[in-house]
Amino acid sequence: MKRRPELDYMNAIACLLVILIHVLSVGIVEADPASWQAAAIYFPWRLSAFVVPMFLYTAAVKLAQQYGGADLSPGMYLRYVLRRLQKIYVPYVLWVLVYYAYYIRRGYVAGNLRELLSYIWIGNLSSPFYFVIIIMQFYLLMPLWVWLLRRVPACVGMGAGLFVTLCMFQAGAFASHFGVTLQYTDRCCLTYSVFWVAGLYAGKYYDRLLPVLRERWTWIFSGAAVGLYGIFFYLQYANNITLYGTSGIKTAADLLSILLVHAVGLRLAACGGFVTRLLRGVYKYSFSVYLCHCLFLTALEAHLPRLGITRLSAVLSIRALVCYTLPFLLCWLLGKVRRVFQKT
């Protein structure tokens, strides 16, 4: 499979935006809702919410390019799943163990095997972990995606993906009318079907998509995404309409935002320079940083009040400084240690 650096840059950008979301999350709770600070925090926090769908989109593009035309055999499928388990699930489990050990020390969890296994299975020990649960479901369904790419036209596949995603959004509202709360729909792969299917067809028709992204559509994507997000905010907050009522607008805005970042990735791949070198470095450690950065935030939440640091601007600055440096440094050091052990 040909290397696509723009996809790496997309993942790097998504990693940086995930950190931003979690850095700003404390401000969502603590800022005065009527203040300018709340708006300054809320808008970048909410506008970055397409990053998990973008991770899924890039993973689907890579799957389609590598396996879309393959005659899938049981052996090929087994090797694929084992590689995904080694690359995605094993690091996830290791980081769950690290978090769990720290949480036991802080008294946040009971500290028993049943609880630990539940956290591993559901992915709810820390906020980034649910993504692993989602993407492993998509990986396990790999034969379905190969069949979809070979047998189903793009318009039909995209329509089906959109329908399933919107149904999952509306299922919560429908169930609530009967006094039922649907748990964990945020980590069910069906909720993100349209983004995964979009990535599959983008990977299949990649050579046709590139000219569109490169030449004419960047500003249209940008304007459309901004416009749709504006409508979404207006409907949800000015008129107090819930997310279920704006799910179609939000989904369209997320898709356009992903395509916009894809176009930006292509521009970066073409021009090179310091930014691309920086993003390559971020991409190298992006998954490990994604898994571990919230541990640093948890530690800060425990220690900053003890140091008398409670002013929101100071808290946000420290959270940003720590999360954009120490997780990368830790993952770099762990990579060095791993290479030493591999050599010996």
| % of the chain with per-residue pLDDT over 90 | 60
Tell me the average pLDDT of the chain. 88
Predicted TM-score of the model (pTM)? 0.91
CA–CA distance, 257 with 299 (Å, rounded to integer):
32
Residue 177 has pLDDT above 90, yes or no: no
pLDDT of residue 174: 74
Per domain, the residue ranges of the chain are: 1-42+272-344
Q: Are 173 and 242 in contact (CB under 8 A)?
A: yes
Residue 333's alpha-carbon distances to 4, 271, 274, 295, 344, in angstroms, are 27, 30, 23, 17, 17
Summarised one tens digit per residue, pLDDT across range 133-146 is: 999 999 999 999 99
Q: So what's the pLDDT on residue 239?
A: 57
